[in-house]
Structure 1
Amino acid sequence: MTDALASPTHSEPPLRDEDAKLADFGYTQKLDRSVGRLASFAIGFATISATTAVFTGFGAGYFTAGGPFVWTLLLAAAVFIIWTLIAADLTAKIPLAGYSYQWTSRLVGSTMALFTGVLALAGWICGMTGVGFILSGYLGSLFGWNMSQTSQILVAIGVMAVCMLINLYGVRFATMVNNIGVSLEFIITVGATIVVAVIAFSSPDNHQSVSVLFTGGASDDSTPYVLAWLAASLGPFFGLIGVEASADIAEETVNARKVIPRTMFYALTASIIIEFGMYVVYVLAIKDAAAVEAASAAPIEEIITQQAGPVISRIVVAVALTNVLACILANILVATRLTYSMARDNMLPFSHVWRHVSPSNRTPTYAVLGIFGLSTILLLSALVSEKAFFLILGLSSLAVCAMYLLQTVAVMIATRRRTIPAPEPGTFDLGKARVPVAVVAAIAFTLVCAALIFLPQFAGNGYVFAGLLALTALWAVTGLRKRLATGEAGPDYAKTHTS
């Protein structure tokens, strides 16, 4: 296979200009193509957000399966390495905003692409709403606020509004803020983990035995440990979702076909190393297990307090919140580009609104506002039914994993139909390995989707998921079907219509 990290030889022709490549797909460059290598990496890294994953997922894993849950990250890493190979292969050939819709649309067809696009959109919106809700809770703890549920929801809406305004200002400003958040994550959060490790291992009394990483029991004695361990693996698995997010800003990335595949692998590698290191350190650094269990809502904060004191703990939590904010910011950026891309092909209701791009900041303004509006509605729904709110948030990982599954199926179908574009010199290409890799990925994502539907911890996810699919199918057979039949929607729409 062609290695995306290698430079093309002198005998190879140069890549065509990205704007010209975009024109080949039938689109005019409207977005601001200013995202470089660092920003592309930062978007993928922030969407994964190692700090967010550890701060929100540590408790679920540790309290479910004990110390050995840390090894489940390696299982998740293997799956996402396979997925990143597929994503890099497709990005190098179809460098379009709204990849989850565009890849399937170009490879298989518009109807299947509608489902992949809607699933991804639901995943990003539910995911960033959930992270915003969690962030508001941490803010209350940090500042000592005694927040009711209503207060937490209002604070979460305020957080989402800040991220919305940053995105409205333009991709340059949004990526700059995101870069700052990622830099703080590397310097402060990772640095604090190293400090905790140094303090913990300075004395045998300050840390647990390394054996706790290999011996554990299920929190529920009636559950076989292997099932508890697999259930615990879903936390680290969720922590790596979004590695391909930089593909969603392909039309705003300089030299996208070569840069994005590379930065995907860089972001995934960095996230795996950092997350695994943090999980191991914080498990071993537990001095008072009972206190950590009592602080189940914020176990990492309790562990840091035990080792370095409350002042250091509050500083680390404060910086971690900037990383969480960067995660939300990146999710909004990705979701709005997907909305814009689908609307550009007239695939959504009110597409003419969502595909509008501001001529001044070159941002899909109404798509940003629409994503913020949907997130706000979800947050306010918690005031009506808390159970329904958390069921909807639980849709996040299931929707994205289902999108991954459909994408890999599309790759297998497209390989058989020979609809996958030929690789350009110097770009990543799976070649003959494409189908075997896709088959393994399809099996892995099928198992994960089944777990998210049938495991007792996720009871109710299947009903919400089925509801989403039913609504999408209803739109497909009513409003969209006629549009596709008359050429008023789909990948060729932009060639014959002006916005």
Structure 2
Amino acid sequence: MSKPSQELTGNYSQELKRTMKLFSSFAVAFSFISITTGIFTNYGFVLNTAGPAGIWMWPIVTIGHLIIALIFGELAGRIPFSGYSYQWVSRLANRGMGWFAGWVAIVFLIIVVPTIDYGLAPIIAQLLGWEASPQILALIVVATLVLQALINIFGVRLATRLNDTAVYTEVVGIVGIIVILGAVVILAGKADWSMLSNVGQSVTNSGGSYLGAFLLAGLMGSYTLVGFEAAANLSEETIDAKKNVPKAMILSVMLSGGIGFIFLVVISISIGNLDVISSSGSPLSEILKSHLGSVVAVIFLVLCIISIFACGLISMASASRLVYAMSRDNVFFASAFFRKITKRGSVPGNAIVLVLVLGILAVLFSDSLTLLVGATAVLPAVLYLITILTYAFKQKHLPKVDSFSLGKWRKSVTAAAIIWLIFEICILTIPSDFNKVAIVAAILLVLGAVVYFLFFRKGILEGRIGMKLEEDKTSIVTSSQQTKNM
């Protein structure tokens, strides 16, 4: 465990408290993924796009993202610092590429927080008996964002406990629904076995081939099974980070993918009238109520609310840590302001407020939830591809480490990850349904390049800002050697 006075690689002093053990690190990754959030937000889209058969894209995406998690596990073990891809790419390639990776990550994290809370909003509206109008949903999202920011700033212990608890509520809620709903639908005689055919029922509303509709359904998995790298983003708050963080990331993807798919199968075979369920603003809630009754359904929905809220909470925390990490190197706007740590909680309070404000703006100025969700699916895929490509070019020069290692499988796994990510990005941008998503993502990437050249490139090249890689010799090679005792 690092002491507060211990110096970190790259002239970083230990400012954040190392209190997180393996389970808490896993809780961060698992809560960020939050299968509850992703499925509640996107299941209706899958039903209307490809029908219940669209859930078979989920295991395909799971395998693709597990491959990514394996590579990120190696990187997290070699460079266990807040900032994940910003830190990794800066050392793998150069500080300019590292800055751009940080930009993509920040944009993704800022947008993803309100989209997560949008998954929460219709459930709350339904439980309170409110009309789920766009205005009501937006109001709930903004109120949730404010509460999450306050907890992140002033209730650090509460945030950690809530996040740890959310692992149990997510598992209990999802597994509970699987067991009870499955028993009611399949075993209690409320439906016959013909309902199993639901998982093969397809719908094509776009007028094209079903293959295209099926691929579009991959949005649910691509949106959900990301964010496991949040554990790496909180490395400086994790005990024995180079060993615990890789385990946390890989395990979170495996469990989320497996449990999530079983949940999707059970939910899909429970659909009675597909047209009615598809037209509902909250199809999962309708399915639960129709089979379990209002009381039992409400209990499960409350557990889901806790899980989704924790997902937004940890996403906001992760975004603030990235802003802090880049501000610490003076490569973010008003760096001196956003790298400040609160005395009470030892958290980057100003960075948290920034994430809150930008999240609210995203809610107010976006009239399409699908657009937000799509952007938060394609941006991490772009970030993953940038990171893994730079790692692929550097691999043969890397020393052996005593943290997680793919060994002889590294090249094959890296190649598979690159192929998968190119395929995934094509799915999320080329179809006409996602053209606006591609345009938004492209604008954000171009904007990042413009910001870099206008405000940061000169300072980084002159060595006035950014990591002092040449001066400190803190490349990925020396980083691996100097972090053995962390």
TM-score w.r.t. the length of structure 1 is 0.89
Aligned equivalent of 2:344: 360
d(CA) in 2 for partners of 1:121, 1:163? 18
Pair 157,479 (structure 1): closer, same or farther in 2 beyond 3 Å: same
Which consecutive aligned stretches of 4+ in structure 1 deviate over 4 angstroms post-superposition? 16-22, 493-496
From 304, 311, 314, the counterpart of 1:327 = 311
d(CA) in 2 for partners of 1:277, 1:249? 30
Pair 367,221 (structure 1): closer, same or farther in 2 beyond 3 Å: closer
Deviations 1:163-210 (A, max 9, x none): 101111254332111112221122234213311111111245525526
Mapped contact 2:58–2:221 kept (Cα < 8 A): yes
Aligned equivalent of 1:86: 71
- The amino acid across from 2:287 in the alignment is I
Pairwise CA distance, 1:430: 2.1
d(CA) in 1 for partners of 2:124, 2:470? 44
Equivalent runs, 1:251-330 vs 2, <5 Å:
251-295=236-280, 297-330=281-314
From 397, 400, 404, the counterpart of 2:380 = 400
Aligned equivalent of 2:483: none
Cα RMSD over matched residues? Answer: 2.3
Alignment partner of 1:337 is 2:314: no
Deviations 1:251-294 (A, max 9, x none): 00011111111111221121112101110101111233333123
From 445, 461, 464, the counterpart of 2:437 = 461
Mapped contact 1:90–1:103 kept (Cα < 8 A): yes
Aligned equivalent of 1:431: 407
Equivalent runs, 1:35-434 vs 2, <5 Å:
35-146=20-131, 148-169=133-154, 171-207=156-192, 209=194, 211-212=196-197, 215-220=200-205, 222-295=207-280, 297-382=281-366, 386-387=367-368, 391-415=371-395, 418=397, 420=398, 422-425=399-402, 427-434=403-410
d(CA) in 1 for partners of 2:459, 2:203? 53
Pair 276,147 (structure 1): closer, same or farther in 2 beyond 3 Å: closer
Mapped contact 2:2–2:239 kept (Cα < 8 A): no
Mapped contact 2:32–2:315 kept (Cα < 8 A): yes
d(CA) in 2 for partners of 1:57, 1:208? 26
Mapped contact 1:346–1:493 kept (Cα < 8 A): no
d(CA) in 1 for partners of 2:275, 2:322? 45
Pair 393,303 (structure 1): closer, same or farther in 2 beyond 3 Å: closer
d(CA) in 1 for partners of 2:471, 2:18? 21
Deviations 1:416-460 (A, max 9, x none): 5x2x4x3432x1112343232222211211121122221122121
Mapped contact 2:47–2:278 kept (Cα < 8 A): no
Pairwise CA distance, 1:214: 5.9
SS class of match (2:429): helix
Pairwise CA distance, 1:147: 5.1
Pairwise CA distance, 1:89: 0.4
Pairwise CA distance, 1:156: 1.2
Which stretch of structure 1 is more off in the superposition, 147-156 or 453-462?
147-156
Pair 85,311 (structure 1): closer, same or farther in 2 beyond 3 Å: same
d(CA) in 1 for partners of 2:39, 2:457? 43
- The amino acid across from 1:294 in the alignment is S
Aligned equivalent of 1:489: 465
Mapped contact 2:75–2:88 kept (Cα < 8 A): yes
SS class of match (2:20): coil
SS class of match (2:460): helix
d(CA) in 2 for partners of 1:22, 1:81? 33
From 452, 464, 471, the counterpart of 1:476 = 452
SS class of match (1:491): coil
Mapped contact 1:354–1:366 kept (Cα < 8 A): yes
SS class of match (1:92): helix
SS class of match (1:242): coil
- The amino acid across from 2:285 in the alignment is E
Mapped contact 2:80–2:236 kept (Cα < 8 A): yes
From 422, 428, 431, the counterpart of 1:446 = 422
d(CA) in 2 for partners of 1:90, 1:483? 27
- Where does structure 2 lack aligned partners over 5 or more consecutive residues? 473-486
Pair 19,494 (structure 1): closer, same or farther in 2 beyond 3 Å: farther
Mapped contact 1:355–1:364 kept (Cα < 8 A): yes
d(CA) in 2 for partners of 1:117, 1:406? 11
Mapped contact 1:50–1:239 kept (Cα < 8 A): yes
Mapped contact 1:34–1:172 kept (Cα < 8 A): no
